[in-house]
Structure 1
Amino acid sequence: MTALTDLTWPEVASIAAQSVLAVPVGATEQHGPHLPFTVDTEIAEALCVRLAEQRDVVVAPAVTYGSSGEHAGFPGTLSIGQEAVEHLLAELVRSADAFAGVVLVSAHGGNAEPVRRAAGKLRAEGRRVLAWAPTGRPDDTHAGRTETSVMLALRPQAVHLARAERGNTTPLPNLIDTLRAGGLLAATTNGVLGDPAGATAEEGARILAAWTTSLTAAVTAWRRSDQQKRQSEGPDDRPSGGAVS
């Protein structure tokens, strides 16, 4: 696995043109009474590391703050909002033109819209960017069995199963209006959307493996499509230079 934190600039220069930069996009927000604030960031980082073990990928330091305003009713949540996330990611990817492309791996649902807008804007500029996020059950979207199992696989010492509580298990599409109007606190007093009961490290490992397979397949298809497009268009016509305003 190749991490940007372990490289010097000459080392990056020697591999960047053949490598994709994977950016873990997370959040710092409450995850019920039994999980840490860093769940989304840790999951995004783990998926990028697993991707880098299978493809020519350099893993960037994670974006640890996201759009988490819906969790504002729970102390400790830190959010920079959708506009800031969109602008941050756009500027970050613009600065990464040395790489063959950038994949944004977001593990926080609240980042979906700003990630989508940033990726669309960047693609319109001619930059090679893929946005990817893991999928799950609509009745288990936050601090439930899925995320609890994954964290048991990744960092079990951070999981407090004795404090785990069932939350609101109404499917997310039926809750979305409530969440938009009053935030998560209007839908769940303990910050959980789902039920962590039955979570195990073994299940978490299986979920991570399935997500890694999906992410790897998406990157492979994206790179293949991009290479075919470049061959048909001729010389590389990507923008040159770093970040622009």
Structure 2
Amino acid sequence: MAEQRRLDQMRHPEVEAYLDSAETPTALIPLGTTEQHGKHLAMGTDAYIPTEICERIAADVDALVGPPMNYGASDMHAGYRGITYLNYRTLATVVRDVAYSLVESGFTDVVFVSGHLTNDYAAKVGANWASHDLSDDAYVYAFPYWDALSGDDMEEYLSFDAGWHANVGETAAVMAIDEGLVDLDEVEVDDPDMPDDIENPAALLDPLLIGKGSFYRVSESGVWGDPSDATAERGEDYFETITHAVAELINEFQDIRADVYKR
């Protein structure tokens, strides 16, 4: 049986044994949302994906995985029925408090891995906030999982060509986790009209999607892209790409910081 790495599923003596033996006791915290992902895809998509990533890489980076945070800074989806969201200040405060308590209890590194674009803004504020109250030996940081991907991989799974939301990448990834969370018979295709005459169209995403109800105004269906070609096999390929990239990023930071943070 695989070694248990989920903090909430471990017994306290097991957690203590990990903290005593790990060279760099690390907690991975998946940050997600509960929001619409079109008619075909589960509302917990943005939590399922980073949770799966964290669980797959935990042994490789010698970390434990905390319970996912399923409520996020997703007020951009206000307008769709049944969604939930926290404001940015609340999420930043939660990130700060979770990080502080984990470091206080024995972890030296706390890494928040987000599956939703605007979670990242609040999470980085919360991580910075925590660092002001912690010793120099503690490291708290946050990033969305796709930050670890190469440009080519982004182009295939998350881009203007592949789509940005409830698209083929997200749909395939969730299918690799549990095909019962996806109904491809309900797929709708939506491709919001974006200008293509600027140097970097992706720079429009932040201002376009900041603000209450902003995505609701962009996409009536809740989809950005064409998810109809998604398969569990494609999702498994996606996870292999993501997990390698995210694990490499975390391991590199653990290796580099000893040389960089000298003062």
Q: State TM-score, norm by structure 1.
A: 0.87
Aligned residues between the structures: 232
Query: How many angstroms apart in 2 are the aligned matches of 1:51 and 1:93?
Result: 20
Task: Indicate the residue corresponding to 2:191 in structure 1.
Answer: 168
The answer (yes or no) to whether the contact 2:124–2:143 under 8 Å persists in 1 is no
What are the equivalent positions in structure 2 for 1:78-97 lying under 5 Å apart? 78-97=84-103
What are the equivalent positions in structure 2 for 1:16-27 lying under 5 Å apart? 16=19, 18=22, 19-27=25-33
Task: Indicate the residue corresponding to 2:143 in structure 1.
Answer: 132
Task: Indicate the residue corresponding to 1:200 in structure 2.
Answer: 231
Q: Identify the range of structure 1 (119-128 vs 23-32) with the bigger mean alpha-carbon deviation.
A: 119-128
Aligned CA distance change for structure 1 residues 186 and 155 (closer, same or farther; 3 Å): same
Task: Indicate the residue corresponding to 1:236 in structure 2.
Answer: none
Task: Indicate the residue corresponding to 2:128 in structure 1.
Answer: 120
Q: Does 1:2 align with 2:13?
A: no
Note the C-alpha offset of 1:222: 1.4
Task: Indicate the residue corresponding to 1:243 in structure 2.
Answer: none
The answer (yes or no) to whether the contact 1:3–1:58 under 8 Å persists in 2 is yes
Deviations 1:141-183, CA, capped at 9 Å, x for gaps? 1101110111111111110101101112546544554434651
Task: Indicate the residue corresponding to 2:169 in structure 1.
Answer: 146
Q: Identify the range of structure 1 (76-85 vs 195-204) with the bigger mean alpha-carbon deviation.
A: 195-204
User: For 2:109, which of 101, 126, 131 is the aligned residue?
Assistant: 101
Query: How many angstroms apart in 2 are the aligned matches of 1:213 and 1:175?
Result: 26
Aligned CA distance change for structure 1 residues 52 and 191 (closer, same or farther; 3 Å): same
Q: Does 1:11 align with 2:11?
A: no
What are the equivalent positions in structure 2 for 1:19-38 lying under 5 Å apart? 19-38=25-44
Task: Indicate the residue corresponding to 2:64 in structure 1.
Answer: 58
Q: Identify the range of structure 1 (212-221 vs 130-139) with the bigger mean alpha-carbon deviation.
A: 130-139
Unaligned 5+ segments in structure 2 are 147-153, 195-200
Secondary structure (helix, strand or coil) at the match of 2:118 reads: helix
The answer (yes or no) to whether the contact 2:74–2:86 under 8 Å persists in 1 is yes
Deviations 1:176-216, CA, capped at 9 Å, x for gaps? 54434651121110001111121121211111111101110
Write out the 4+ residue segments of structure 1 that deviate beyond 6 Å after TM superposition.
none
Unaligned 5+ segments in structure 1 are 234-245
Deviations 1:68-90, CA, capped at 9 Å, x for gaps? 10101111110011111100000
Aligned CA distance change for structure 1 residues 179 and 227 (closer, same or farther; 3 Å): closer
The answer (yes or no) to whether the contact 2:97–2:130 under 8 Å persists in 1 is no
The answer (yes or no) to whether the contact 1:130–1:222 under 8 Å persists in 2 is no
Deviations 1:72-130, CA, capped at 9 Å, x for gaps? 11111100111111000000000011113111111111201101111222334433123
